[in-house]
């Protein structure tokens, strides 16, 4: 049922949002040098790697080991900051949903190195398809602002935010259903709690 919902929603989403897709693609290309899309390897269902697609919101940098970003990060373009604020950069992930690599709702997919830290019961999270949005995404919708206030953003992310996200995702694993997914989708669109 969830997969059928994901297929239908992603297909409708791509059709309805196609004009926005084209406009944003052009604006990303013209606002800074580089491609319209940012493709990054993420850990998906059952720990399998896949390439997640987003609109590029940062300047093209040859190499960077930094996996978090904070509000005011100099790597983020001006237009990219707008895309990230309203989560527009996530729209291309509908292609990942269509291909079965992601779900509309689920835990956000981690980069390698974070998913590897899951232990014990928390490993169950990897049985879920990662989502465009989810309970942890809603709670930390302003994560970049939170991290900007910390003396050591990486440490705070690793020691406070990440463990809390794992807890929220495990709770979602045990309690998810279509009704909860719909509530999360509307809460994401209207930026409210669920």
* Sequence spans of domains, the chain: 2-189
pLDDT of 134-162, one tens digit each? 999 999 999 999 999 999 999 999 999 99
Residues 78-96 have a mean pLDDT of 96
Interstrand relation of 37-43 and 49-55 (parallel, antiparallel or unpaired)? antiparallel
Per-residue pLDDT averaged across 62-78, rounded?
78
Mutual angle of helices 178-189 and 2-16, in 10-degree steps = 30
What is the reported pTM?
Answer: 0.92
* Beta-sheet pairing, 103-105 with 37-43: unpaired
Query: Tokens representing 96?
Result: 């990942």
pLDDT at 193: 74
Q: What is the pLDDT of residue 38?
A: 96
CA atoms within 13 A on the CB side of 12: 7
Q: Token pair for residue 12?
A: 């409708």
Report whether pLDDT(191) > 90: no
Residue 115 banded pLDDT, cuts 50, 70, 90: confident
| Distance, CA of 103 to CA of 117 (rounded, Å) | 22
Give the closest residue to 193 by CA, choosing from 137, 136, 138: 138
Retrieve residue 184's tokens.
């999360």
């Amino acid at each position: 049922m969830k997969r059928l919902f994901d297929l239908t929603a992603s297909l409708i989403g791509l059709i309805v949002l196609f004009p926005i897709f084209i406009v944003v693609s052009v604006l990303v290309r013209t606002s800074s040098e580089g491609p319209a899309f940012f493709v990054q390897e993420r850990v998906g269902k059952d720990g399998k790697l896949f390439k997640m697609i987003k609109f590029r919101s940062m300047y093209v940098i040859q190499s960077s080991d930094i996996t978090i970003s904070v509000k005011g990060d100099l790597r983020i373009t001006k237009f990219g900051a707008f895309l990230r604020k309203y989560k527009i950069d996530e729209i291309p992930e509908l292609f990942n949903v269509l291909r079965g690599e992601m779900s509309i709702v689920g835990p956000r997919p981690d980069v390698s190195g974070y998913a590897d830290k899951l232990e014990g019961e928390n490993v169950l999270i990897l049985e879920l398809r990662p989502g465009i949005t989810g309970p942890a995404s809603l709670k930390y919708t302003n994560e970049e602002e939170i991290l900007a206030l910390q003396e050591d953003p990486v440490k705070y992310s690793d020691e406070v935010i990440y463990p809390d996200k794992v807890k929220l995702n495990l709770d979602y694993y045990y309690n998810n259903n279509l009704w909860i997914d719909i509530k999360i989708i509307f809460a994401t669109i209207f930026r409210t709690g669920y």
